[in-house]
Copies of this chain bind each other. A is one copy, B any other.
Amino acid sequence: MPVKTIDWKNGTVRIVDQTKLPGKLVFLDCHTPEEVWRAIRRLAVRGAPAIGIAAAMGLALGARASRASNRAGFMKEVKRIARYLATARPTAVNLFWALRRMIKVAEKAREAGVPELKKILEREAIAILREDNDICSRIGENGSSLIKEGAGILTHCNAGGLATGRYGTALSVIFAAHEKGRRIRVFADETRPLLQGSRLTAWELTHAGIETTLICDNMAARVMYEGKVDIVITGADRIAANGDTANKIGTYGLARLAEVHGIPFYIAAPLSTVDLDTPCGEMIPIEERDPDEVRRIGELWIAPRRVDVYNPAFDVTPARFIRAIITEAGIVRPPYKKNLASIVMKAEREKAVMERKPAE
């Protein structure tokens, strides 16, 4: 079973301290919004969904400790804490989304007194976690049919539970196949420059008892050539309307190598990753990161200090190299333009129906 990256236990937010991985599995118990803020700031918790969950729970902690005697005073205090938590990682979209959702649910409960509002906020934070777990486990369930008994699976970066509440996306598929008793072997690319594969994925998979072999990124082609890989699965940062997919640098090369070796290449991602407003991959800007990520590891300089570096954070894999996209609502196959639009629309209609329900 994958570790619970983040959990709520009786007024305590328990977080896996990812700065201690892969060396040690240390749980961090946070009792105040300030402790959660520090955990987010110093990257003890990372990954967009996980940050959102942590922030929501941090807000619930603050609400719980409030001594406000009336609704107005309580709401004022909660909003102040939300603004404070939002400063922990100023670029994390999920952080703002989760905090806004928390404030909204409290505002909606117009008749509730302070004790009830505290309960509502606690329930909402736990709901955000559960929804994330639910999406991830449905991705896993949907994708697991693609993993055959004895399969060799190659993955890149960390599309794992450590970035989400628990299961992850690409790794959720692997966890699900493993839990169904299928014998599998995972090859985890170390994923330079930030080594999410060796630091996080290799740790997560071995911790869950899954046979895992760590390789350097440049060994993937050899492992494919040796016939050890039956399927490649990665996560996604953004999927354009035509299926072109931005993901961690190195994904595109893997997709091309999979193609020439006759190995199917899959993306596993929640529908929230699909951006129908972006028509194709060429429209996705590629972030270039600090050259020192490539020039040094920790305090050790591994290259000349002033050498030119090209350090794109992502690459784009054209849709034609992607066999299918595994989502919580099902496996989407080409033609992606039509099929992605229809699955996203359908999910939005269902969500709208769900949200209207309480008012009916």
Listed by A's residue number, 17 A-B pairs whose Cβ atoms lie within 8 Å are A190-B192, A191-B218, A202-B307, A203-B303, A214-B295, A215-B294, A216-B311, A218-B249, A219-B311, A219-B315, A221-B252, A221-B253, A221-B315, A222-B315, A256-B257, A257-B257, A297-B302
A214 B257 Cβ-Cβ under 8 A: no
Report the contact-size class of chain A (Cβ under 8 Å from the partner).
35 or more
Residue A193, interface by CB 8 Å: yes
A198 B302 Cβ-Cβ under 8 A: yes
The interface residues of chain B lying within 8 Å CB-to-CB of A189 are 218
Residue A353, interface by CB 8 Å: no
A198 B295 Cβ-Cβ under 8 A: yes
Task: Give the interface of A toward B (CB within 8 A).
Answer: 22-23, 156, 187, 189-193, 195, 198-199, 202-203, 206, 211-223, 225, 249-250, 252-253, 256-257, 259-260, 294-295, 297-298, 300-312, 315
Partner of A315, one of B190, B202, B225, B315: B225
Determine how close the nearest CB of chain B comes to the CB of A167; give it in whole angstroms.
20
The interface residues of chain B lying within 8 Å CB-to-CB of A304 are 22, 202-203, 206
Q: What copy number does this chain have within its complex?
A: 2
The interface residues of chain B lying within 8 Å CB-to-CB of A187 are 310
Determine how close the nearest CB of chain B comes to the CB of A83; give it in whole angstroms.
37
The interface residues of chain B lying within 8 Å CB-to-CB of A259 are 260
| Given A295-B198, A304-B206: A250 and B218 interface contact (C-beta under 8 Å) | yes
Determine how close the nearest CB of chain B comes to the CB of A292; give it in whole angstroms.
11
The interface residues of chain B lying within 8 Å CB-to-CB of A310 are 187, 213-215, 219, 223
B252 A213 Cβ-Cβ under 8 A: no
B298 A300 Cβ-Cβ under 8 A: yes
The interface residues of chain B lying within 8 Å CB-to-CB of A295 are 198, 214
A256 B260 Cβ-Cβ under 8 A: yes
A213 B257 Cβ-Cβ under 8 A: no
The interface residues of chain B lying within 8 Å CB-to-CB of A294 are 190, 198, 214-216
* Closest Cβ neighbor of A297 among chain B residues: B297
The interface residues of chain B lying within 8 Å CB-to-CB of A307 are 22, 198, 202-203, 206, 212-214
Determine how close the nearest CB of chain B comes to the CB of A197; give it in whole angstroms.
9
| Given A198-B302, A225-B315: A217 and B214 interface contact (C-beta under 8 Å) | no
A217 B215 Cβ-Cβ under 8 A: no
B303 A215 Cβ-Cβ under 8 A: no
Q: A202-B303, A203-B303, A206-B306 known; 18 other A-B pairs, CB under 8 Å?
A: A22-B301, A187-B310, A192-B192, A202-B304, A212-B307, A214-B309, A215-B294, A216-B250, A216-B311, A217-B217, A217-B218, A219-B310, A221-B256, A222-B249, A222-B253, A222-B315, A253-B257, A298-B300
The docked-state distance in angstroms from the alpha carbon of A190 to that of B216 is 11
